[in-house]
Structure 1
Amino acid sequence: MNIMQSDISEANTTEAPPSSQGSWIALLTVAITAFALVTSEFLPIGVLNDIAADLHVSVGTAGLMITLPGVMAAFAAPLLPVSVKNLDRRYLLLGLTATMVGANAITAIAPNFEILLLSRFILGFAIGGFWATAIALSGRLAPSHLPIAKATATVMAGVTLATVLGVPIGTWLSDAYGWRTSFGITSVIGFVVLLLGFKFIPSLKPESAIHFRDLPALLRINKARQGLIIILLIGLAHFSSYSYLTPFFKNSAGFDSATISSLLLMFGIAGIFGNAFAGYSSNLNVRYTFAFVAICFAVVFFGFPLFAIHTSGAFILTALWGFAFGAFPTTANIWMFLHAPHAVEKGMPLFVGFFQIMIASGALIGGYVVDHFNANILLYSVLSFIILAVISIFTLSRGLNNPKQETCSISSE
């Protein structure tokens, strides 16, 4: 993802001027905001059983905590950049950070499941708005001498740290002090970041506006549409099942909390290697990279019910799952840059919304199957999405290789 996003930024015609007022602390402030947002979004995965038991709902129903933010983010990502028009992006970032702080605080004290869902709905607004604007601002937030590629990588490091540290630590805190403590601490982190933002984030006047007619830019390009089909199938498979990973480990495998936290940490660490692999491999052939990622997912979903009930098998398959997911968004973004480079900037808000729809739909599908059947049935069911994705890669997208000029552009980074 880092490589992809850096190239998108360099493709823009409105790069940050040399006189940028950005600084390292402004850039790090936004990176920590990304850490807090991603932790907030996926923290329920590690504490779903505890929330379900405490608020007297089923695990599948508790999965709405993941579905609702995705739904709201899917609307906010394309609509917010259009709606705010000429608003100084400094105030937009601060407002979204404040929204995250408030949403997590409400979650931490929610007296019932209905109020908790309301807080998650509010969080989705912050998630969608942040991702639709933050990446484009990374170059202007950084010191003037820092390349845009490194600035973008710094912001995206917050996402990686959230996967590696945020969710596992949140799960550990939940086991030790209760799930409400995890969300309360995330809210406090957000508040500290908000104070830093008021002090260090510079004025970020918009240089151009995105209009509604610009949003479907990627949908107008055939090669981009082919990629979207593959992304949709793989994304639905992952998000349908990953949302219920902890219930599987607890209910089907019978692992204790310490083992589950270790497995989630393993998932995150493997994701770092998956991201690095995809950045290199997609430069060579993004279609074959997608095929390899899909095959990794297929091995995971087929093997999990059989082998992940044992500790060694669980660690191996969870690492493979984390590797595949770490590679997935990176490959998805690079596909769009290679095959629709001139449409990416204006199409990015809708692309972010597309990802959020996958998260929401996946959690909803997974919740229904878990409630009415079990986690094993869920894993075997999503395997069909992966099979369709592989078929699409080798039929619908057959022969679609990296354009030479774009490949050279990325390789020169």
Structure 2
Amino acid sequence: MPVSVFSLMLVVFSLTTGEFVIAGILPEVAGNLSVSIPAAGLLVTAYALGMIIGGPVVTVLTARLPRKPLIIGLIVVSILGNLGSALAPNYALLLIARFFAGLIVATFFAVAIAVAVSTAPPGKEGSTVAKLTLGLNLGIILGTPIGTFVGHTFGWRATFAAVAAVTVLALLLVLLYVRTPTTPSAGSVLGELRVLGNRGVQLAIILTVVGNVGIVTVFSYITPLLTGVSGFSLAAMPVLLLVYGAGAVAGNFLGGWLTDKALMPSLAGLLAVLALALGLFWLLSGFPVAAVALTFVIGLLAFAIVPGTQTRVLTAAAGAPTLALAVNASGYQLAAAFAGWLGGAIIAGPGVRAIYLVGAALTVAGLAIALGSLAADRRAAAMNGVPATR
């Protein structure tokens, strides 16, 4: 991995850790600030809302800025947001700090992808995106448990201070190794906005949302699924989450390799296999050995589709990809928010096990969108007399 890409990946790692680690320290935060657990849970919502709102707004406002100063500024905002979280004297200010920290995430992710891909050899866009999104995997399976341990050992404020420290290290690497054009990647704010009217870009963003919402719903409720249906104890969950995470890391690189080979055919194939795997999980969820194996498989497939969906948006948006990628990231957060509500509604209705079937059905809907896009690509290629390889 080039050091420049590693530098950006490390920022993604810190941003992801900052997003998810709050779940591990909620009781400590609630007790220290004298608020309820549900109120402390709103800190997760505040960060997600910052991402959803900040994605399009911050990207539009910064469209004319040179890329490297923009990247540095976004990282500095993240550092300040996490330091503000560590020092917040009360719940209200902590809530504001978490929202502030989330504001820049989608824009940074979009700019980082565009910058990293601009340095990649032709035909290696997917694997480059996979190297960058490895930070997502590591933030979930490594950063979050380490941050939780730090919070339990030294207090919850130390967790946010540690995230800020890692981000400072990443900033130093970015300053030293990331090279970008001195001009912005977008021609104008209007150019960034105009690209959102492109039907191909719209379909690519919709594919990200619909293609991911099923597996995100399953992952959001993975603990009650594996304990209540498959019979595992709560003590086994850290190991099972590591199994899922190992699959996610493998899937991330597999997805990048497949994306480089054939973007839409591989993406459609991965969605089809994911839908099948979720259906099998529903059928075999009562068998612990099968549940462990399928936990690895769905982790692999869930993250194997990430490089493809990101690269699809990148290629569809062509000369002005930053806003499209930021909106795509915000769309993913909306899918995650919807998944939380949907899973609860399923549990209240047909029961927790049905989450697997609903997840499979939603993934099939994503597959339909992918197949429609693939067919449109092939029709356009045939009209232009060129082979449809992507």
Same fold (TM over 0.5): yes
Change over 3 Å in CA distance of 1:240–1:99 after alignment to 2: farther
Give, in angstroms, the shift of residue 359 of structure 1. 1.6
Cα distance per residue 1:256-299 (max 9 Å; x no partner): 45x33333332232123323333344456544433333334334
> Which of 1, 4, 9 is matched with 1:31 structurally?
9
Opposite residue 254 of structure 2, the aligned amino acid is F
Q: Distance in 2 between matches of 1:278 and 1:201?
A: 25
Partner of 2:327: 353
Flag the structure with more relative contact order, 1 or 2, with Cα contacts below 8 A and sequence separation at least 6: 1
One of 51, 74, 78 as aligned partner of 1:100: 78
Which letter does structure 2 place at the counterpart of 1:57? I
Aligned to 1:390: 367
Aligned residue in 2 for 1:6? none
SS at match of 2:147: helix
Correspondence 1:56 to 2:36: yes
Check if 1:41 corresponds to 2:15.
Answer: no
Give the structure 2 partner of residue 74 of structure 1: 52
The residue type equivalent to 1:264 in the other structure is: L
Amino acid across the alignment from 1:122: F
**SS of match in other structure, 2:216:** helix
Query: 1:120 aligned to 2:98?
Result: yes
| Matching residue of 1:293 | 270
Structure 1 residue identity aligned to 2:340 = G
Q: 1:293 is aligned with what amino acid?
A: L
> What secondary structure sits across from 1:321 in the alignment?
helix
2:251 equivalent among 274, 278, 282:
274
Is 1:170 paired with 2:170?
A: no
Cα distance in 2 between the residues matched to 1:287 and 1:197: 32
User: How far does residue 127 in structure 1 lie from its aligned partner after superposition?
Assistant: 0.6
Deviation at 1:36, TM superposition (A): 0.9
1:319 counterpart residue number: 296
* Cα deviation code 1:350-405 (max 9, x no counterpart): 232233233234224414643883754555444442232334445x4473456596
Contact map agreement 1:271 1:325 (CA 8 A) in 2:
yes
Seen in structure 2, the aligned counterparts of structure 1 residues 202 and 324 have a Cα distance that, compared at 3 Å, is closer
Q: 1:203 to 1:358 in 2, by over 3 A?
A: closer
Cα distance, 1:158–1:176 mapped onto 2, change above 3 Å: same
> Identity over the aligned pairs, expressed in percent?
21
1:32: Cα distance to partner? Answer: 1.8
| Structure 2 residue corresponding to 1:129, chosen from 90, 107, 114 | 107
Other structure's SS at 1:205 match: coil
Aligned-partner Cα distance in 1 for 2:285–2:4: 43
Aligned CA RMSD, in angstroms, stands at 4.2
TM-score by length of 1: 0.71
Q: Which amino acid aligns with 2:82?
A: N
Match of 2:310 in 1: 333
Query: Structure 1 CA distance, aligned partners of 2:18 and 2:212?
Result: 20
Q: CA deviation at 1:322?
A: 1.3
For structure 2, the 5+ residue unaligned runs are none
Task: Give distance in 2, aligned partners of 1:107 and 1:330.
Answer: 31
Deviates more, 1:195-204 or 1:235-244: 195-204
Structure 1 pair 365–289 and aligned structure 2 pair: CA distance change class (3 A): same
Query: Residues 322, 124 of structure 1: CA spacing in aligned structure 2 closer, same or farther, 3 A cutoff?
Result: same
Q: C-alpha offsets along residues 224-254 of structure 1, whole Å, 9 cap, x if unaligned?
A: 4444433321222233443343565567755
Amino acid at match of 2:321: G
In 2, the alpha carbon distance for the partners of 1:134 and 1:203 equals 10
